[in-house]
Amino acid sequence: MQATIAVLPGDGIGVDVTAEAVKVLKTVAETYGHQFSYPSGLVGGVAIDETGTALPPESLDLCRASDAILLGAVGGPKWDDPRAAVRPEQGLLALRKELGLYANLRPVKLYDCLIDASTLKPEIVRGVDLIVVRELTGGLYFGQPSKRFDGPNGREAVDTMAYSEREVERVVQVACDLARNRRKKVTSVDKQNVLSTSRLWREVATEVAQRNPDITVEHLLVDNCAMQLIKRPAEFDVLVTENTFGDILTDEASMLAGSMGMLPSASLGAGKRGLYEPIHGSAPRHAGKNVANPIATILSAAMLLRYSLGLSAEADAVEAAVQRTLDDGYRTYDIQSPGTTLVGTREMGDLIAARIARS
Ligand code: IPM
Ligand code: MG
């Protein structure tokens, strides 16, 4: 098949890790006889430096003209001035919003051989295999008003958490559809004892649950969920929650899999076009040093093959190659443990690419 994959490396280690994911995609294309092209675009801090805006129109056009988008990471101390008018993160948020990518899938799967990489006890994390569906185009990230102003008591600021029935409905339905091919359990996470948006969320989630009688839907308050995630993580199957809660809970959940460097994500909307990125940030101090773990981005490329291109055998091959590389004892610094072989970003990419095979 022919496909255009827009590559937006962004800032910091985003550059290092996307290069390895492209390396793996090239190997997949060769092995399976596909023609992929990889036009690249600017986003984030580099885009601000070169064009003055975090998502130049050419980048958005490129993404719209592509079958899928692979993104690295955005941000860094250089652009962190709290009074700056433009911020790298705006580029990522604009991309998610403009492309209507409302469902962010963040699978958290512990590879058995990484059980010692987790900071949690082995008996607690063994068997963790969950997926968080984070609502991505609503909530605090986009609600209006969102601004700073001068009030009678000095400087003030406001952000708004807003949700509509439709926004909740469609993302909870995505969670139910995912659960159908898994363990048929959805945990909807909210803060309904305090927030109006959460009371709406729970009401609508309950209605969606009634239309999906084969799925068991439970509700948890977000603070309780944060605790249960480290108390009994293996019991969770699919979690669905609003934008900010999902952002926070997935950083927490990443430690169940050993490292932020292991967690991929897919951002999907109504069509097939999706945005694929690791959940980690740009880690500026590791940028360009050949140390970052590229596995989260390589696994994001596997999700790209599966969800946007419909190439599930190829996606399985990438995931199997990651599994074999880890089983063979290779580790980047973040998942290293005694008796394993420490490798850099490029070596990890090479090792995984070399294990891509047609099944
Ligand atoms: C993430 C990141 C982003 C977010 C930042 C970089 C804007 O933390 O994808 O989880 O908050 O969504
Ligand atoms: Mg985050």
Which residues lie closer than 8 Å to 346 by C-beta, 6 or more apart? 19, 20, 290
The SS3 assignment for 6 reads strand
Question: What are the beta bridge partners of residue 151?
Answer: 154
Query: In angstroms, how far is the first alpha carbon of the chain from the final one?
Result: 18
11, 67, 247, 350: the active-site residue: 247
Residues 66, 184, single domain; the answer is no
Average pLDDT of the chain is 97
Q: Are strands 266-268 and 216-221 parallel, antiparallel or unpaired?
A: unpaired
| Residue range of the domain that includes 53 | 1-112+260-359
Domain count, the chain: 2
Q: How confident is the model at residue 358 (pLDDT cuts 50, 70, 90)?
A: confident
How close is the Cα of 247 to the center of ligand 1, in Å?
Answer: 7
234 CB burial (10 A radius; 0-12, 13-18, 19+): middle
Ligand nearest to the CA of 266: 1
Question: Looking at residues 11-37, what average pLDDT do you find?
Answer: 98
Residues 8, 91, single domain; the answer is yes
Q: Residues lining ligand 1, judged by CB closer than 6 Å?
A: 74-75, 89, 92, 247, 279, 281
Q: What gap in Å lies between CA 126 and CA 233, rounded to an integer?
A: 9
Q: What gap in Å lies between CA 43 and CA 117, rounded to an integer?
A: 32
Q: Which amino acid residue places its CA nearest to atom 4 of ligand 1?
A: 247
Residue 359 pLDDT more than 80? no
Residue 104 pLDDT more than 90? yes
Residues 127, 237, single domain; the answer is yes
Question: What are the beta bridge partners of residue 143?
Answer: 160
Is 61 a known active-site residue? no
Lookup result for tokens 């937006």: 8
Residues 126, 238, single domain; the answer is yes
Q: Are strands 266-268 and 238-241 parallel, antiparallel or unpaired?
A: unpaired
Element (DSSP H or E) covering residue 259: none
Residues 221, 349, single domain; the answer is no
How close is the Cα of 263 to the center of ligand 2, in Å?
Answer: 11
Tens digits of residue pLDDT in 268-310: 999 999 999 999 999 999 999 999 999 999 999 999 999 999 9
Ligand nearest to the CA of 277: 1
Lookup result for tokens 């979690």: 239
CATH classification of the domain holding 70: 3.40.718.10
The token duo for 297 is 């981005």
Residues 1, 93, single domain; the answer is yes
Domain boundary among 257, 280, 312: 257
Q: Can you give the pLDDT at residue 281? A: 95
Q: Relative to the CA of 250, which ligand 1 atom is closest?
A: 10
